[in-house]
Amino acid sequence: MASLKFLLGMIPSTEKIEQEEKALIAEFNKLKSFAESEKLARYNELHEIVNSAGFQQKKKEIETLSYKNSEEYAREKEFISLKKAKDIVMYFRTLEGDALKRFRDLDGSEKISKYENLKQLVSGSGFKEKMKSKEFAGSDDEKQLREFKQMDSSVEIKEYYKFKNSREYANFLNVDGSSRLTRYNELKEYISSKEFLEKKAFLLDKKRFEKTDEFKQLKEYLDLKKDPDIIWYFKVKDSDKFDILKSRELVFSDEFDEEKLAAGKWLTNYFWGEKLLHDRYSLDTDLHFYTEKENFEIRHSFLKITTKQQKINGKAWSPLKGFFTKDFSYTSGIISTGASFRQKYGIFSAKIKLGDPNARNSFWLVGDKSTPHINVCTTSGGKIWFSLFTDNGKQIKSKIGAGYASKSMIFTLEWTPSSLIWKVNGVEAFRTTENVPQEPMYLNFSGGVSKPINGTTSMEIDWVRVYTPKN
């Protein structure tokens, strides 16, 4: 019995069915393509990074950084302390002052050497005895004494020895070349370096995380997360939207886009006539004879199989008589995949305008014997029939009105090990679980007449597709 939706006439238009399927396939192909895209790969990479424990820990560490707890702060504090230390302050004041320069100008000079020699000379006991003698006056010794006194009273000599004996100079000598001064200079150089200044500025910046590579990664991730393609992908990838496409694989099809029938796919004859008889024939009950090519036409991607009134002589087959020659009043055409394609189970679908319902235009499946025989759809007696002819001679069938024969409809057979389901534009029209065939079968499309009709009729096939189920 047909489904309630079918009985109520709730059948979507063929155009709508095809548009929806075309859109679904296009979106599915987009999904598969996007799954391999660089954009998605980058999003997944960033998703792993920013949601990792390591990233979150590093983000927390950066955001909770404090300058006062940093090595940079400790170094700067140590530098400031050294810079304020009395010995360091005095050292640089001495280093920059004039007194040290004047001292260094005299230190080790001939003048100081001569002064110290004269001082040593006049301070000796022998020289003092000479000073008491009458010969002292006008002697060289007196000249040396006068020269000493003159030098000893000079401001330059006094300042030299005053500085040399001062605490300032002692401090200078103590600091100069010391590890303490070395440390001061190291810290001074570091504190003024670009590295330190940038690190200090970073640590003092409350928005420091925004200056990091981690923030750039996070921002890129969040931007991608809002990307329409990314949102769409994750919305549909695990949905049931594409289940029908995922559940099947296209294994045979013909869109009839060529000017002629594809010889590698189709025989324009009964399979057994081609294989055994090497000739064409019709059944003795048929009023038509199948021609090789005269009753076929492909135009605008439609295959037209025409049945017309035409006198012709040809072979007929009768179970009682075998093959014999007779006159036929009509000609028609048949195509078969008996030599190219057979399948057990699956989805067998074709878009067909069946034409005159009083003719016998059919889409059917058969195997190596005449039964089982499945009519996916066939016209006869002003109706459209769905039927199964079993091995035991039983016929299981259902019919629908002739209105569906005058326009292109999608006729489908869904064949499983336990059932046969006939559909029209995706809506169930009939099903059976009895005597389900369990052998590979091939496709046939044929025109013809069992009873006389007036004029010419054609069956138009837009496409045929066969799918196999995926595990």
Task: Report the DSSP beta bridge partners of residue 446.
Answer: 334, 362
Q: Does residue 309 sit in helix, strand or coil?
A: strand
Spatial separation of the C-alpha atoms in residues 289 and 280, rounded to whole Å:
9
Q: 4 pLDDT band (50/70/90 cuts)?
A: low
| Section 143-163 average pLDDT | 92
pLDDT(2) > 70: no
3-state secondary structure 339-406: CCCCECCEEEEEEEECCCCCCCCEEEEECCCCCCEEEEEEEECCEEEEEEECCCCCEEEEEECHHHHC
pLDDT(471) > 80: no
45-95 pLDDT per residue, tens: 999 999 999 999 999 999 999 999 999 999 999 999 999 999 999 999 999
Q: Which of 417, 357, 346, 415 is nearest to 381 (CA)?
A: 357
Higher pLDDT pick, 402 / 421: 421
Angle separating helix axes 228-236 and 213-225, nearest 10 degrees:
60
Spatial separation of the C-alpha atoms in residues 218 and 212, rounded to whole Å:
10
* End-to-end CA, the chain: 29
Q: Does residue 162 sit in helix, strand or coil?
A: helix
| Section 316-321 average pLDDT | 92
pLDDT(42) > 90: yes
pLDDT(279) > 80: yes
Q: Which of 268, 462, 443 is nearest to 373 (CA)?
A: 443
| Domains in the chain, CATH or no CATH each | 4-64+212-246 (no CATH), 70-204 (no CATH), 252-469 (2.60.120.200)
Long-range contacts of 428-433 (CB under 8 A, 24+ apart): 428/2, 428/3, 428/5, 428/6, 429/2, 429/3, 429/6, 429/386, 429/398, 429/400, 430/1, 430/2, 430/386, 430/398, 432/388, 432/396
Q: Does residue 412 sit in helix, strand or coil?
A: strand
Mean pLDDT of the chain: 94
Spatial separation of the C-alpha atoms in residues 157 and 151, rounded to whole Å:
7
Tokens read off for 449: 């007449």
Cα Rg, the chain, nearest whole Å: 55
Spatial separation of the C-alpha atoms in residues 368 and 36, rounded to whole Å:
44
The separation between CA 385 and the C-alpha centre of its own chain, rounded to angstroms, equals 49
Neighbours of 193 (CB within 10 A): 11
Spatial separation of the C-alpha atoms in residues 62 and 120, rounded to whole Å:
72
pLDDT(325) > 90: yes
Tokens read off for 68: 């006062």
Phi and psi at 365, nearest 5°, equal -125, 145
Report the phi/psi class of residue 278: left, alpha or beta, with left for phi > 0 and alpha for psi in -120 to 50.
Answer: left
Residue 129, C-beta contacts closer than 8 angstroms, at least 6 positions apart: none
Tokens read off for 61: 């560490």
Q: Which amino acid is at 4?
A: L
pLDDT(167) > 70: yes
Q: Helices marked H in 176-212 — which ranges?
A: 179-191, 194-204
Q: Does residue 275 sit in helix, strand or coil?
A: helix
Q: 201 pLDDT band (50/70/90 cuts)?
A: very high
| Section 294-304 average pLDDT | 96
pLDDT(7) > 80: no
pLDDT(1) > 60: no
Neighbours of 36 (CB within 10 A): 8
Higher pLDDT pick, 352 / 124: 352
pLDDT(188) > 60: yes
pLDDT(386) > 90: yes
Higher pLDDT pick, 76 / 138: 76
pLDDT(460) > 90: yes
Spatial separation of the C-alpha atoms in residues 385 and 382, rounded to whole Å:
10
Q: Which of 321, 323, 325 is nearest to 312 (CA)?
A: 325
242-252 pLDDT per residue, tens: 999 999 999 99
Long-range contacts of 175-180 (CB under 8 A, 24+ apart): 175/87, 175/88, 175/90, 175/91, 176/91, 180/82, 180/87, 180/88
Residue % of the chain over a pLDDT of 90: 88
pTM exceeds 0.75 = no
Q: 406 near 353, Cβ under 8 Å?
A: yes
